């Protein structure tokens, strides 16, 4: 389980790897908030994500909204990890899907 933040000049890369759940939720929130600070481009790197729970979905949802509000560009890694797809489908969040560019 790992959540990471890589801050570069204009891009912040948030990485989610392995099994990310409520145990990492507080840390992830801090990272997402830090990533939002004065960045124009935000990347979510999730290729290694194997499992997640509702807390993570909820955080990413709030993150996407915050990014949109701040006018930042949010980029999701392609392809969407299977675990993410399944979780979003289960939670009925398919139609609320975050902007993919």
Partner 1 sequence: MSQAPAALADALPIDKYKQAFQEEAREILVELESTLLELNQRPEDGELVGKTFRALHTIKGSGAMFGFDEVAAFTHDLENAFDRVRNGRLRVTPELVDLSLTALDQIKAMLHSANDSGVIDPAAGRNILAQLLHLTGSPDDVRPASAGASPIEVASEPTGEKVQWKICFSPGPGMLRNGADPLLVLRELKQLGELQVTADLSAVPPLAELDPERCYLRWEIALTTAAAREAIADVFLFVEDECELRIEPVAPPADNAASTAQPEETPCKFGRRSEDRAGMSSIRVPTPKLDQFVDLVGELVTVQARLGEIAARAERLTSALRENSMSIRMLPIRGTFERFRRLVHDLARDLRKEVELAIDGGDTELDKTVIDQLGDPLMHLVRNSMDHGIELPELRQAAGKQAVATVCLSARYSGANVLIEVADDGAGIDAAAVRERAIAKGLIDAGAVLTEAQIASLVLSPGFSTARQVTDVSGRGVGMDVVRQRVEALRGTIHLSSRPGLGTTVTLRLPLTLAIIDGLLVRVGHAFFVLPLASSLECVELTREDIASTNGKHVANVRGEVIPYIRLREHFNITSERPEREQIMIAETEDGRCGFVVDEVLGDHQTVIKNLGRFYRHVQFVSGATILGDGTVALILDPDRVIQDALKTVSEARRGHWVPPPTAPPGVSNGLQLNSS
Give the binding site for partner 1 (CB under 8 A).
21-23, 25-26, 28-29, 32-33, 36, 53-55, 57-59, 61-63, 65-66, 87, 90-93, 96
Is the Cβ of residue 60 or residue 78 nearer to partner 1 in the bound state?
Answer: 60
Compute the least distance from the CB of residue 84 to partner 1, in Å: 12
Q: Dig out the tokens for 4 from the structure.
A: 């990471």
User: Got the DSSP string for 7-35?
Assistant: E-SSEEEEEEEEEE-HHHHHHHHHHHHHH
CB of 18 to partner 1, least distance (A): 15
Smallest distance from partner 1 to CB 28, Å: 7
d(CA 68, CA 53): 23
């Amino acid at each position: 389980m790992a959540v990471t933040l890589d801050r570069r000049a204009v891009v912040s890369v948030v990485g989610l790897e392995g099994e990310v759940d409520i145990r990492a939720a507080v840390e992830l929130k801090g990272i997402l908030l830090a990533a939002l600070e004065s960045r124009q481009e935000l990347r979510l790197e999730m290729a290694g994500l194997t499992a997640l729970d509702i807390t993570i979905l909820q955080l990413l949802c709030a993150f996407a909204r915050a990014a949109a509000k701040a006018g930042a560009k949010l980029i999701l890694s392609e392809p969407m990890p299977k675990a993410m797809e399944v979780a979003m489908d289960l939670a009925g969040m398919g139609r609320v899907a975050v902007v993919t560019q």
